Amino acid sequence: DIPLTQSPSSLSASVGDRVSITCRASRGIATYLNWYQHKRGKAPKLLIYAASNLQSGVPSRFSGSGSGTEFTLTISGLQPEDFGTYYCQQSFTTQYTFGQGTQLEIK
Amino acid sequence: QVQLQESGPGLVKPSGTLSLTCSVSGASSTSYYWSWIRQPPGRGLEWIGYVFHTGATNHNSFLGNRVTISLDASKGQFSLRLTSVTAADTAIYFCATSTPTPSRHFDSWGQGILVSVSS
């Protein structure tokens, strides 16, 4: 099992802000790291796969970086619709694990 | 665009069996990993397991031998069966697909179905 730790657990930011969420793995996972956005009552949405690849249809203000044990999801120019909970997920091993989530609130 | 829809009972008795089905449409290929993921109340996402189009399965070790995932490609459905349920199995259950790429990201998801375990 590879636990993932996200920070912060929650944050509040204003429209137009640049926001970063960190995901740390307990051991190296190369770039086998994916990011999702989840809004209550909706299907989770893939944002970034393989650490830095933007999923088709996802706005370019979302970006991902990192490798090994530390990864970052950045939203450049926060929009009102970006509220929700963000999760990282590793697929380095076939015992997939998710981070505990980061709740993003728009001020 | 793959679309998925979960269905099944919303209430299961303790020690009973949870059975859910995911109906899939719009898949251009059956060569996916078909997964179940859940979200207990107030908690994050937990991967339960998957079935590959070959029938091969894999599941989260924390569930032990309580979980069975199966695929009926002819019906465009795959299923989850979880035995000996307790209140800890109360959750929103999602089905999801991932293509057989190295990153195995979950690129399509259902809306989720709430299953409560209670007498």
A55-101 confidence digits (pLDDT tens):
999 999 999 999 999 999 999 999 999 999 999 999 999 999 999 99
pLDDT in tens, B82-91: 999 999 999 9
Q: What is the pLDDT of residue B28?
A: 67
Q: Which residue of B has its CA nearest to A42?
A: B111
- Per-residue three-class SS string for chain B: CCEEEEECCCEECCCCCEEEEEEEECCCCCCCEEEEEEECCCCCCEEEEEEECCCCEEECHHHCCCEEEEEEHHHCEEEEEECCCCHHHCEEEEEEEECCCCCCCCCEECCCEEEEECC
The average confidence (pLDDT) of chain B is: 93
Residue B30 in this model has a pLDDT that exceeds 80: no
Give the residue from A40, A39, A59 showing the smallest Cα distance to A48: A59
Sign of the alpha-carbon torsion through A78, A80, A82, A85: positive
Q: How many CB atoms lie within 10 A of CB B87?
A: 11
Chain A, window 39-98: residues with a beta carbon less than 8 angstroms from a chain B beta carbon: 41-46, 49-50, 53, 55, 87, 89, 91, 94-98
Give the residue from B6, B25, B4 showing the smallest Cα distance to B92: B6
Q: Which residue of B has its CA nearest to A58?
A: B107
pLDDT in tens, A10-63: 999 999 999 999 999 999 999 999 999 999 999 999 999 999 999 999 999 999
Pairing label, strands A102-106, A10-13: parallel
Contact B112 A55 (CB under 8 A): no
First to last CA, chain B: 39
Q: Which residue of A has its CA nearest to B100?
A: A91
- Per DSSP, chain A holds a count of helices (H) and strands (E) of 0, 11
